[in-house]
Amino acid sequence: MSAWRQRLPCVLVALWAAALSGCGGEQSALEPRSGPARDIATLWWWMLAVATVVFAGAVGLLVLAWLRRRRVGAPVVGEREGFDLGMVVLFGMGVPAVALIALFVVGNFVVMPGTDAPAASRAQMRIDVIGAQWFWKVRYPGSGVVTANEIHIPARTRVNVTATTADVIHSFWIPQLNRKIDMVPGRRNRVLLYADRPGRYRGQCAEFCGLQHSHMAMYVIAESPPRFRAWLAQQARPAAEPGGALAQRGERVFMEHQCSSCHTIRGTPAAGEVGPDLTHVGRRTTLAALTLPNTPRELAAWIRDPQYFKPGNRMPALDLDRSEIEAVAAYLEGLE
Amino acid sequence: MAVLGTAGRARAERLRRVWAERHGVLGWLTTTDHKRIGLLYLFTSLAFFLAGGVEALLLRTQLVRPDNGLLSPSAYNQLFTMHGVTMIFLFVIPLSIGAFGNYLLPLMIGARDLAFPRLNAFSYWVFVAAGLFVYVSLPLGSAPDAGWFDYVPLADREFSPGPNIDFYCLGIIFVGISTTATAVNFIVTVFKLRAPGMSLNRMPLFCFAMLAVSFAIVFALPPLTVAAAFLELDRQVGTHFYDIAGGGDPVLWQHLFWIFGHPEVYIIILPAFGIATSIIPAFARRRMVAFPLVALAELLVAFIGFGVWAHHMFAVGLATVTAVYFAAASLIIVIPSAIQLFAWLTTLVTGRPQFATPLLWIVGFIVFFIVGGLSGVMFAAIPFDQQAHDTYFVVAHFHFVIFGAAVFPLIGGLYYWFPKVTGRMYREGLGKASFWLAFAGTALTFFPMHIVGLLGMPRRQYTYPPDLGWTGLNVLETVGSYVLAAGLLLVAANLAWSCIRGPASGEDPFDGATLEWAASSPPAPYNFAVIPTVTSPYPMWDERDREQDVRNAEAGRLVLDQGHVTPATTVIDGEWDEALDMPSDSPWPLAAAAALALVFTFLLTGHWTTALVFLGAAGAAAVAWHAREAAAELVTRRALPNGWWGMAVFLATEAALFGSLIGSYSYLRFTSADWPQGAIEPPSVALPLALTAVLVLSVVPMRAAEVAARRQRTRAALRWLAVAFALQAGYLAVQIVSYVDELGTFTPATNAYGSIYFSLLGAHHAHVALGLGLMAWLLVRLAGGLTEYRVTAVRAIALYWYVVGAIAVFVVATQVSPA
């Protein structure tokens, strides 16, 4: 059974899509990497199978009508009205009623509880994720750790994510791990994150949130619990002192220009709340909610003209010359 | 109509003179002929279809490859918003209801026009004005850009400071006036103007669909109007309906929007069902299977559609119980749709179907409806819904439903009724080619969206990264959209060419079942030279009845050529009631619509006083419109007059409006920790209750006036009306003083309590003020003596006050409830 379950998705996806675009990537709901996501995917394949049967049956009737188009004479009406009505009652009411009740029970009473957000007591850990135009602010309560766009979790651990928003409605969604949940002003929604094994899972804002809705993605990075604990301890520390003259100049530029009014770097005077926390930005793999890879070159290009890469985002191009930009990039890349 | 004899032809000629309208452009501007208005709707809605289609092609072209730079994010957001707004409000509804409904409804029920011909013209001109109002924003670069669903707080002034969303809010309210007026018109037409003999169980299924749609509109649009008005007030006045910091709740918008939005889906698709049930019997050569079940299913779909809205909101974080309830309701609505589906299929299988072009489009509709229906059922499994929600899977689902299933029958209908409207035949080969192109294009555009959605692609993305496996599918979708566009262009080319060069079609080329095929092609301005005899839902297949028509024409029975008249019948049984004198062409509907357009323009620019002046101008146009009275002598009717019915349906939509306001009040109250919020004192109880008692008491003299008018005692009627007017005016005066007085202690901008408190009372006072305007008009009219028209006016306005009285009780109960 489970082997069949494992294989069927791949067979059908192969039929549908693989030839066209390759099997889905790290944001595919059809490649689940957790119990809840797997239950939902299995539900989908079952629904697809039943839907295919229904579709084939109905189209079969159309084909039958097409085959009967050349019959001679006017159709006989009235003799078999009971049969005709019976067809409508059976297939229009009887069969759907059975299928719908089955779907209702399986979908909402069998599958749903396993994908629900856990009660606080049943979760092993909590993370607060705050959606903002257009990035994700991530807090680890109790540790003082604040990061952005890359959410580290321990694998095989039930993590309760509290999803809130700093401005408009966003929606938190990691398709390979679980269903999505909206981030609505005035509400504290919760969702369960659980990863079977270490790995990187991509997610994206699913509720239209303005100009850069397309560039509001994130990674969930699941690590073995010891590695996660090490990561968390490292992230809890204040920012590293800049090493080298270039990075030291970069820090000065950062603090003297507007950078520090929007970004926080713990351990320095920079305490802005508009943009992502940069305390350990050097450890991240991407910039601007997965818009760019995090390399010194890309970081410098981003600082030079953020509006080019992500038009409409809140970060202005500052009046910095080339050497100042390189210094700031060197400083930030050093914040590991 | 079969060949008429000499006497019949002479009568038809007299009818032609009686029903003739002005020639030329002026004729089109002042027309009240439902067929000409239907054609105006047709061409206008197709123009909007073109605009919405070009928008869609631009969107698809932008998405043809990852990181494409064809459209800026701002342009993309404006275009996808305008695409949705256009297709839903300015294309599908005006085409299906405005064009098909207008043109066909009177013809199918054997009438000579709609119940309120000038109101019909008004609906059209308001629709044009509203469409232009919304579209002006596009060249200004300020088109709505928060999606057609326009969620707050993104749509609030804070995050959308430009005028974009103001165009949206005001445009939606504006176009809703048009749709509502049409729905009122259709309901009264279906109830009152059916040919003698057409009892409700003999009414064509198309007309049942139109009736169901009209009722859905009457009750579904008020929540949208209220939602848009709240948002506009939040944006322009600083109220706090949706503002969490001010005690409001952004989720209120979602509830109000989807209470409208889900019935809207059925409003879009029910006319398509109606068209399918017209075309299938004609080409299957047999009657519809399970006629009563299908009629019931059409009405049920419209009704149950009101109970499922929150399935659009499963990801908001609703309580589990609530979500499961809405999932169950969403499943129940599948049943009436499945009944209709298998009725169509069984009819086709047991008939002798001829797969001509119109039926092909219906076959396409059935296939796509099954696809869209099956994917729709899946959303009732909440965990799956929350996985697929806001992805391209949903885009695929609803395009199969509202493009594949709703628009394909409309195009099939264009082909099917083309000979009726033009008197010419389209080209069959081209028709089939256009179908297969559009069919392939639709499948190719929308089917891969299911997959790309499951692969994780969210909706409303102006661009996407190259490494997630979405690129190939997006290429397919874009190619499909161009194939689809080619198919639709072929439809246009076929019909345009055939309009000029097509061979003559005759009256009834398809051996259709319903009465529109009894009229000439194109139909004469009076539709039927003789009001048709009806004894079944398939009157054109009852040959003896048609022979009876010819004998009637010769004998002058049911010809009604003495005036501009059409028969009115009883609501259920369709028995003869009276010959109604129908209004003819008039400039006032256009004038009133133009004045309203100026009202909305000045609301947009924030010139409220000027807007009020033009509202007065619109009122003046309405008075001028009603200056000429129908020339009916005083008769004893068997049934309630059309004017009373029109008022009743209008009041139903008003009641839904107040229901939405009171519902919003309750919602805000029960999501708020304290009520009244902040330091606001609870309202006093004694004065509002006493005042409401006075208003309710005014119902007594209204009733007395109504009785006196029906007994033709003019002076008594006037006296009672004056008493009622005094009570009502006194009520309003004291209420306004108290309203202004309360504004001194807190305002709509204080918090959400203030916002809903003053809005609810303000709407109620405006309702009373409108009634006072009606009363003033009535008093002036009655001073000139009593006519049949004025008796109807007294009865309709009395009904208005009964309902105002009832609403007042609910309003005051809500108002004083915190105390």
Q: For residue A69, which residues of chain B lie inside 8 Å, CB to CB?
A: 352-355
Cross-chain residue pair A92–B335, CB shorter than 8 Å: yes
Task: Convert the pLDDT of each residue in B729-745 to its tens digit.
Answer: 999 999 999 999 999 99
Task: Report residue B236: phi and psi, to 5°.
Answer: -100, -30
- pLDDT value at position A21? 43
Q: Which residues pair with A223 in a beta bridge?
A: A154
Task: Convert the pLDDT of each residue in B145-182 to its tens digit.
Answer: 999 999 999 999 999 999 999 999 999 999 999 999 99
Whole-angstrom distance, CA of residue B761 vs CA of residue B405: 43
Sign, CA dihedral B516-B522-B527-B531, equals negative
- pLDDT value at position A18? 47
Whole-angstrom distance, CA of residue B56 vs CA of residue B76: 10
Mutate to test the interface with B, among A10, A31, A81, A84 (most CBs of B within 10 A): A84
Residue of chain A nearest B159, judged by CA positions: A168
Q: Taking 80 as the threshold, does the pLDDT of residue B773 lie above it? A: yes
- pLDDT value at position A1? 40
Contact between residue A118 and residue A158 where contact means Cβ atoms under 8 Å apart = yes
Task: Convert the pLDDT of each residue in A207-251 to its tens digit.
Answer: 999 999 999 999 999 999 999 999 999 999 999 999 899 999 999
Q: Taking 60 as the threshold, does the pLDDT of residue B653 lie above it? A: yes
Q: What is the mean pLDDT of chain A?
A: 90
Q: For residue B332, which residues of chain A lie inside 8 Å, CB to CB?
A: 100
Cross-chain residue pair B159–A210, CB shorter than 8 Å: yes
Q: pLDDT-derived band of residue A114, with 50, 70 and 90 as boundaries?
A: confident
Residue of chain B nearest A171, judged by CA positions: B315
Give B 313-372 residues with CB within 8 A of chain A: 315-317, 320, 324, 327-328, 331-332, 334-335, 338-343, 345-355, 363, 366-367, 370-371
Q: What is the mean pLDDT of chain B?
A: 94
Q: For residue A44, which residues of chain B lie inside 8 Å, CB to CB?
A: 378, 384, 387, 454
Give B 95-154 residues with CB within 8 A of chain A: 146-147, 151, 153-154
Q: For residue A17, which residues of chain B lie inside 8 Å, CB to CB?
A: 448, 451, 455, 469, 472-473
Q: Provide the 8-state DSSP code for A218.
A: E
What does the DSSP assignment read for B375-394? Answer: HHHHTTSHHHHHHHTTBHHH
Question: Nearest CB to B352: which of A69, A107, A205?
Answer: A69
Q: Taking 50 as the threshold, does the pLDDT of residue A20 lie above it? A: no
Cross-chain residue pair A210–B382, CB shorter than 8 Å: no
Interface A–B counts its CB contacts (< 8 A) at: 287
Whole-angstrom distance, CA of residue B298 vs CA of residue B308: 16
Whole-angstrom distance, CA of residue B399 vs CA of residue B403: 5
Residue of chain B nearest A102, judged by CA positions: B381
Cross-chain residue pair A189–B317, CB shorter than 8 Å: yes
CA of B674 to nearest chain A CA: how many angstroms apart? 15
Whole-angstrom distance, CA of residue B407 vs CA of residue B399: 10
Mutate to test the interface with B, among A31, A39, A207 (most CBs of B within 10 A): A207
Residue of chain B nearest A184, judged by CA positions: B316
- pLDDT value at position B7? 85
Q: pLDDT-derived band of residue B728, with 50, 70 and 90 as boundaries?
A: very high
Mutate to test the interface with A, among B234, B308, B432, B455 (most CBs of A within 10 A): B455
- pLDDT value at position B5? 80
Whole-angstrom distance, CA of residue A125 vs CA of residue A294: 28
- pLDDT value at position A121? 78
Q: For residue B250, which residues of chain A lie inside 8 Å, CB to CB?
A: 169, 184-186
Q: Taking 70 as the threshold, does the pLDDT of residue B637 lie above it? A: no
Residues with Cβ < 8 Å from B47, sequence gap 6 or more? none
Residue of chain B nearest A27, judged by CA positions: B456
- pLDDT value at position A16? 53
Question: Nearest CB to B374: which of A37, A55, A61?
Answer: A55
Task: Report residue B313: phi and psi, to 5°.
Answer: -125, 20
Q: Taking 90 as the threshold, does the pLDDT of residue B107 lie above it? A: yes
Residue of chain A nearest B380, judged by CA positions: A104
CA of A258 to nearest chain B CA: how many angstroms apart? 23
Identity of the residue numbered B644: W
CA of B707 to nearest chain A CA: how many angstroms apart? 50
What does the DSSP assignment read for B750-786? Answer: T-HHHHHHHHHHHHHHHHHHHHHHHHHHHHHHHHT--
Nearest CA to B643 among B194, B180, B102, B185? Answer: B185
Task: Convert the pLDDT of each residue in A269-301 to its tens digit.
Answer: 999 999 999 999 999 999 999 999 999 999 999
Q: pLDDT-derived band of residue A58, with 50, 70 and 90 as boundaries?
A: very high
Cross-chain residue pair B455–A28, CB shorter than 8 Å: yes
Q: Which residues pair with A192 in a beta bridge?
A: A160
Cross-chain residue pair B472–A167, CB shorter than 8 Å: no
- pLDDT value at position B781? 93
Contact between residue B364 and residue B435 where contact means Cβ atoms under 8 Å apart = yes
Mutate to test the interface with B, among A16, A21, A64 (most CBs of B within 10 A): A21
Cross-chain residue pair A75–B320, CB shorter than 8 Å: no
Question: What is the model's pTM?
Answer: 0.95
Q: Is the ipTM reported for this complex over the cut 0.95? A: no
Both structure tokens of A228? 């996660």
Q: pLDDT-derived band of residue A82, with 50, 70 and 90 as boundaries?
A: confident
- pLDDT value at position A12? 52
CA of A195 to nearest chain B CA: how many angstroms apart? 16
Q: For residue A20, which residues of chain B lie inside 8 Å, CB to CB?
A: 448, 472-473, 476
Please compute, for residue A51, the number of CA atoms within 13 A of its CA located in the half-sphere on the CB side: 19
Cross-chain residue pair A202–B251, CB shorter than 8 Å: no
Q: Taking 50 as the threshold, does the pLDDT of residue A103 lie above it? A: yes
Cross-chain residue pair B455–A30, CB shorter than 8 Å: yes
- pLDDT value at position A80? 76
Mean pLDDT of B323-350: 93
B536 touches A at CB < 8 Å: no
Task: Convert the pLDDT of each residue in B57-77 to its tens digit.
Answer: 999 999 999 999 999 999 999
- pLDDT value at position B584? 86
- pLDDT value at position A8? 54
Give B 236-255 residues with CB within 8 A of chain A: 244, 249-251
Whole-angstrom distance, CA of residue B760 vs CA of residue B143: 30
Cross-chain residue pair A75–B473, CB shorter than 8 Å: no
Q: pLDDT-derived band of residue A119, with 50, 70 and 90 as boundaries?
A: confident
CA of B443 to nearest chain A CA: how many angstroms apart? 13
- pLDDT value at position A22? 44
Task: Report residue A108: phi and psi, to 5°.
Answer: -100, -10
Question: Nearest CB to B72: which of A28, A91, A311?
Answer: A311
Contact between residue B305 and residue B270 where contact means Cβ atoms under 8 Å apart = no
Listed in sequence order, the DSSP H helices in B285-356 are: 291-304, 320-332, 334-350
Q: For residue A202, which residues of chain B lie inside 8 Å, CB to CB?
A: 456, 468
Q: For residue A175, which residues of chain B lie inside 8 Å, CB to CB?
A: 387, 456
Query: Position of tokens 């929604």?
Result: A189
Task: Convert the pLDDT of each residue in B289-300 to its tens digit.
Answer: 989 999 999 899
Sign, CA dihedral B759-B764-B768-B770, equals positive
